[in-house]
Chains A and B, each alone.
Chain A
């Protein structure tokens, strides 16, 4: 039952990913990506990590894709606008990056199989309590550093904007 559900969802995720890459319309691409993220959220929930699943929806669906859509709409994602500006090196770059990606995934799968990690056997490892405990004890320093980095990025964005305004 769980396996069947996983396979069906995985198929949806794959189709959405293909749709995102092949779609000619930027807004459609963003929507396919949204479907893909939603399926990931369901995967997390199936692995007993409800917290991660919900956060996945809040961060990616609730903020990042909305921002993508906002930018796409602002800079012109008009309906029917087909761009055929295939640059010369696109195919080569795609091939090289694709090969690298497949190698990375293959390595990951091989490692997982050889060490025989069973993720689903860890109940509540993705629960709020477990994640909160891990973040605020074992991984406190990296967690705070990451938040600092995000804050710095935000302040930097605002500062650049004001600099650009000054120069005008």
Chain B
């Protein structure tokens, strides 16, 4: 019973933090894009436009709810929720700070520390594609359907290099240990030799491209290209239902950044973190936060500077370049593990 209550509190905290994070990520992105474009960005609501996300939220909530006549109603209404929920749930296994002891009990800063955490993230994010696919189909609109089909093929394709690279990372957890692990908690705690860090960072660009494609971010936002598909799967959505799709994309970005920070950059680890103490937990969380912000900056930087690719280029790039590359990486990692582990 106590576990249940603690889990509910942790989950609520996670949802509140992620939704706030989403709101201010839109602000962060708009401000940064404005800097890249040499303009001001939102600056009317509140000091420096800081209240802009709240104004946007209020606007989205109070917009009239419109359900077009020609849609498949149950699926149409289900799709935004199906997009958002996996995005929120995937974050549950990421350790955000070292455990601390307070009033004689150990507090663990992950909603769930499960031993197959990495696979769990893969599973949940692969379910997230349903929101987009079903949203596009149920809208009963040719442009939406094209967007949905593009999503399906894009997701299936880019899951391959991502999955293979994840396999390589899991393999590398064998180094210096008796047995590898799939637990993100243990991956963060693992002491990697310096050459292993370098080797893993080699995989980071490929992994990052994969995450860009999986979260439908520019330059891979083919499912919603406004100039050929007039927003693709979300044409028929408005108001809060559109906002839910929007939220899902941004929370995917946050989760993806947190995952990459955990796998490639040591998660909450950093100088001045003393595990087990309250200030250690706080500083650890601070480090993870900074790493996530830096990675999100990368997402936005790419969006501001790289033009969108063509659809066939997107798939060719994945199947003929990224996939063979990641397979080679996996093979070399296996050799390294055999000789070094």
Please report the C-alpha to C-alpha distance between residue A58 and residue B160 in the assembled complex, in whole angstroms.
12
Interface string of B115-129 (1 = CB under 8 A from A): 110011011101101
In the complex with contacts A28-B75, A74-B149, A79-B72, A54-B155 CB distance below 8 A: no
Q: Are A62 and B126 CB-contacts (below 8 A) given A31-B75, A79-B71?
A: yes
Residue of A with least CB distance to B136 = A73
Contact with B along A69-92 (1 / 0, CB 8 A): 110011001110000000000000
Bound complex: CA A20 to CA B10 (Å): 36
**CB-CB contacts below 8 Å: A11-35 with B:** 25, 27-28, 31, 34
Cβ contact within 8 Å between B156 and A66: yes
- A70:B152 contact, CB within 8 angstroms: yes
In the complex, chain B residues 94-151 whose Cβ is within 8 Å of any chain A Cβ: 114-116, 119-120, 122-124, 126-127, 129-130, 133-134, 137-138, 140, 145, 148-149
A residues less than 8 Å from B71 (CB atoms): 79
Task: Check if A69 sits within 8 Å of B137, measured CB to CB.
Answer: yes
A129 within 8 A of B: yes
* A125 part of interface (Cβ distance < 8 Å): no
A28–B72 alpha-carbon span in the complex (Å): 10
B119 is contacted by which of A27, A55, A67, A70 (Cβ under 8 Å)? A55
Tell me which residues across on chain A come within 8 A of B137, comparing CB atoms: 27, 69, 73, 77
Which of B119, B133, B148 interacts with A54 by CB under 8 Å? B119
Chain B min CB distance to A36 (Å): 14
Do B126 and A58 touch across chains, with their CB atoms under 8 A apart? yes
Which residues of chain A are near B129, meaning CB under 8 Å?
A: 62, 66
> Contact at B159–A62, with CB atoms within 8 Å?
yes
Report which of A67, A79, A128 forms a contact with B138, defined as CB distance below 8 A: A79
The size bracket of the interface on B is 20 to 34
State whether the Cβ of B182 lies closer than 8 Å to any Cβ in chain A: yes
- Report A-chain residues with C-beta under 8 Å of the C-beta of B149: 70, 73-74
Q: Are A54 and B138 in contact (CB under 8 A)?
A: no
Contact A61 B127 (CB under 8 A): yes
Q: How far is the CB of B14 from chain A (nearest CB, A)?
A: 20
CB <8 Å contact, B140 and A34: no
Please, which residues of chain B bring their CB within 8 A of the CB of A54?
116, 119-120, 122-123
Known interface pairs A58-B122, A70-B153; A127-B127 also in contact (CB < 8 Å): no
Q: Residue on A with the closest CB to B148?
A: A73
Question: Which of A62, A78, A79 has most B Cβ within 10 Å?
Answer: A62
The distance in angstroms between the C-alpha atoms of A103 and B305, with both chains bound, is 63
Task: Report the Cα distance A34→B140, complex, angstroms.
Answer: 21
* B119 engages A58 (CB within 8 Å): yes
A51 adjacent to chain B (CB < 8 Å) = yes
B66, CB-defined interface residue at 8 Å = no
Is A50 in contact with B123, judged by CB distance below 8 angstroms? no
- A57 pairs with B152, CB closer than 8 A: no
- A99 sits at the interface (CB 8 A): no
B179 at the binding interface (Cβ < 8 Å): yes
Interface centre among A25, A50, A79 (most CB of B within 10 A): A79
- Cβ distance A129 to chain B, nearest Cβ, rounded Å: 7
Which residues of chain B have C-beta atoms less than 8 A from A78's C-beta? 140
Nearest chain A residue, comparing its CB with the CB of B70 = A79
Identify 7 new A-B residue pairs, CB closer than 8 A, beyond the known A27-B134, A54-B119: A25-B72, A51-B119, A66-B129, A66-B133, A66-B152, A69-B152, A73-B137
6 A-B contact pairs sorted by A residue (CB < 8 Å) = A50-B115, A62-B127, A63-B126, A67-B152, A69-B152, A128-B116
